[in-house]
Amino acid sequence: MKIVSFVIPALLLAGHGHAQKMYQDYTLSKDTVHYGPGSNEILPPTHRGYTLILPDGGSEVSGTVLILGDDKPNLSDTSNIHQPANTRGLATLYISTGIPVDLYFSESSLVYADSLIKQVFSSYHLPNKNIFLVGAMMAGHRALKYIEYCKKGRSVFNPSIKGVVLCESAIDWVRQWYECQKQVRDHTGDFEGNFITYLFARHINATPATNIRKFIDFSPYSYFDTKMEKPKLYKDLAIRAYTYADIRYWFSAQGKGIYDSNYPDMSGFINEQVLAGNKTASLIVYSSSLTGPLKNGMRRQSTTWNLINKKELVDWMIKSL
């Protein structure tokens, strides 16, 4: 199924009257991903392609927010960043490889994303400057993997990346693997535990106990990396990381502790950036008021993205230019 490229007038996208143009081009992917060994244990297909949202025609595009997502974005989601980004003259580009929950195990995913980014920048005359990668959850892992890919000289586009924003991203896959083993062992009913265990058994064909180096090499950051060579890949970038750390919600939920959350990954990544000399790396940690009401929604790390003040985040990007 082909979704033809199209343009949507501003007022259909913007709630504040700022003119925007949107271009999309997707195909429904035929790639399948198993979440277990069973023949029917297959994730539903996703779309392969891009969505580009530009400011109004009278505004010069000063940079681009790049999001390496799982599928077509839900543009009606009010937590999206494209509206405040467009208001400040930044284009927003969403890229999807069409592989469900793509962790970029295969370099072909990076090759596809990189080539498509180059094509979009060329087709719509976007300036190759002031590019900010923004990633919540697994999109943060993808963002860092793409930066690593570019820093190692493999990109055909060679984007001028200015910064990266992470939100609750699992990037230390040694820690994450052990977290998933605990989920399976505790029978908490978490889909993630069995799924991640299956994925790594299939693609890495090892465990941290049998070959920790494979997991460290795959991880954009790992506490267990004694060489710590990767921080230098990102130390010249403006970096923000967001996480939710709260003893009332996450650290006490379903037998979980601090290592069963993404807080160690976010804080550890920023700490190593500071040690590497990055003076623009910062960590924003959310927690609940001890006297406030309990909210079950905050047991999900995916809700951290909703807590972020997107206007303030975009203002930070502009100040970093």
- What per-residue confidence (pLDDT) applies to 9? 38
Domain definitions of the chain by residue range = 2-169+238-320
Question: Which residues partner with 95 through β-bridges?
Answer: 50, 68
Other residues' Cβ atoms within 10 Å of the Cβ of residue 4: 7
- Phi-psi region at 21: left, alpha or beta (left = phi > 0; alpha = psi -120 to 50): beta
- What does the alpha-carbon distance between residue 113 and residue 93 come to, in Å, rounded to a whole number? 11
Q: What is the pTM of this model?
A: 0.91
Q: What is the pLDDT of residue 5?
A: 37
Q: Which residues, at least 6 apart from 161, have a Cβ–Cβ distance to it below 8 Å?
A: 131, 132, 133, 147, 150, 237
Q: What pairing do the DSSP bridges indicate for beta strands 131-136 and 63-68?
A: parallel
Residue 32 is predicted with a pLDDT of 81
CATH superfamily of 2-169+238-320: Alpha/Beta hydrolase fold, catalytic domain (3.40.50.1820)
**Structure confidence at residue 192 (pLDDT):** 84
Residue 249 is predicted with a pLDDT of: 63
Quote the CA–CA distance of 164 and 238 in Å, as a whole number: 6
Strand positions, DSSP E, 223-321: 238-244, 281-286
SS3 189: coil
Per-residue pLDDT tens listing for the chain (321 residues): 333 333 433 334 444 445 579 999 999 998 888 888 888 888 899 999 999 999 987 678 999 999 999 999 999 998 899 999 999 999 999 999 999 999 999 999 999 999 999 999 999 999 999 999 999 999 999 999 999 999 999 999 999 999 999 999 999 999 999 999 988 888 766 688 889 999 999 999 999 999 999 999 999 999 999 999 999 999 999 999 999 887 766 666 667 788 888 999 999 999 999 999 999 999 999 887 767 766 665 556 668 999 999 999 999 999 998
Of the candidates 99, 44, 91, the residue with the CA atom closest to the CA atom of residue 67: 91
pLDDT value at residue 81: 96
CA distance 303 to 297: 7
